[in-house]
Amino acid sequence: MPLTRILLPLLLCVALQGHAEDNPARGKDLYTPCAACHGVAGEGNQSLNAPRLSHLAPVYIVAQLQKFKEGSRGGSGATDSARQMAAMAATLSDEQSMYDTAAYIATLESEQSPVTVKADTEKGASYYRQFCAACHGPAAQGNPALNSPRLAGADDWYMLAQLHAFRSGSRGSEPQDRTGKQMRAMAGVLPDDEAVAAVVAYIRSLEQ
Ligand code: HEC
Ligand code: HEC
């Protein structure tokens, strides 16, 4: 990848950081409607396809809320669940509200959901080291400098759904979704559904 494709987003990131101080107390109020799907502790709810949020870094949460709001995630070609979330992001009136909500979510603690994906974790480990660790980190802790979210602590059912969404193009194919496009290319490297399940089962086996 040419260096400019890495450096430019970083510079943009710095430029975008000019917002007022985060206010988690205001974020708590803003989070009230979110709790209906994501849970009061940000634990997620599989029956509503709403993922756990409490393990995620605020910077990633804000980036995704921005994408949902502008339609580069959850737009016309997206899954029903992503479109549902896009409608919710539209209720956050401005960027400061996103920062405040994300700052509140960062104060939450929740249990990780139980294992639902059973697959060959050894194969998964090998795929992970080969194709994923460079961006998401060896312990799947994420890397904000590469816009790569934490995966340790994520729901296995949600990771599976997102990898299939990237592979089918329902996530990461909007032209302005630069980071989604990067991830889409990586999801496509996995040879088949078995490999997708294996890498998810491996990530779920890591300490959160
Ligand atoms: C009606 C249920 C519902 C409500 C209410 C809701 N969400 Fe969601 N949210 C979802 C679903 C479903 C997804 C998964 C979207 C997908 O499959 O791509 C999601 C995804 C997300 C993600 C992306 C997580 C990731 O790992 O990429 C964030 C961040 C998020 N929601 C934050 C919020 C916030 C903040 C609110 C309140 C303003 C909120 N949600 C309200 C259903 C909901
Ligand atoms: C080139 C860097 C890079 C590599 C390599 C990479 N990813 Fe990602 N991944 C990202 C970025 C960036 C995002 C956030 C996409 C966005 O902004 O929508 C992401 C998002 C994800 C998500 C969605 C998380 C969420 O909370 O919604 C999953 C799951 C994921 N990656 C799994 C993997 C797996 C499994 C591999 C290896 C097969 C992998 N990634 C390889 C950069 C990468």
- Does 191 have pLDDT greater than 60? yes
Please tell me the distance from the alpha carbon of residue 134 to that of residue 184, in angstroms, as a whole number.
Answer: 15
Output the ligand 1 site: residues, CB below 6 A: 33-34, 36-38, 48-51, 53, 56, 61, 64-65, 79, 81-82, 84-85, 88, 92, 101, 161
Q: Give pTM, 2 decimals.
A: 0.93
**What is the per-residue burial (b if ≥16 Cβ within 10 Å, else e) of 180-208?**
bbbbbebbeebeeeebbbbbbbbbbebee
Tell me what the pLDDT averaged over the chain comes to.
93
What separation in angstroms does the CA of 56 have from each of 64, 101, 106, 140, 143? 11, 12, 7, 12, 11
183: CA distance to ligand 2 center in Å? 5
42: CA distance to ligand 1 center in Å? 10
Q: What is the DSSP letter of 129?
A: I
| Beta bridge mates, 50 | 45
Q: What is the pLDDT of residue 9?
A: 56
Pocket test for ligand 2, best of 66, 123, 135 (most atoms within 8 A of CB): 135
37: CA distance to ligand 2 center in Å? 23
Q: What is the pLDDT of residue 20?
A: 83
Ligand nearest to the backbone CA of 160: 2
Length of the chain: 208
Ordered structural domains, the chain, with CATH: 21-105 (1.10.760.10), 121-205 (1.10.760.10)
190 lines ligand 2 (CB under 6 A): yes
Q: Please, what is the end-to-end C-alpha distance for the chain in angstroms?
A: 30
Contact yes or no for 98/27 (Cβ under 8 A): no
Which is it for the CA torsion 117, 122, 125, 130, positive or negative? negative
81 lines ligand 2 (CB under 6 A): no
163: CA distance to ligand 2 center in Å? 8
Task: Give the tens place of pLDDT for each residue, 101-151.
Answer: 999 999 999 999 999 999 999 999 999 999 999 999 999 999 999 999 999
Which is it for the CA torsion 22, 25, 30, 33, positive or negative? positive
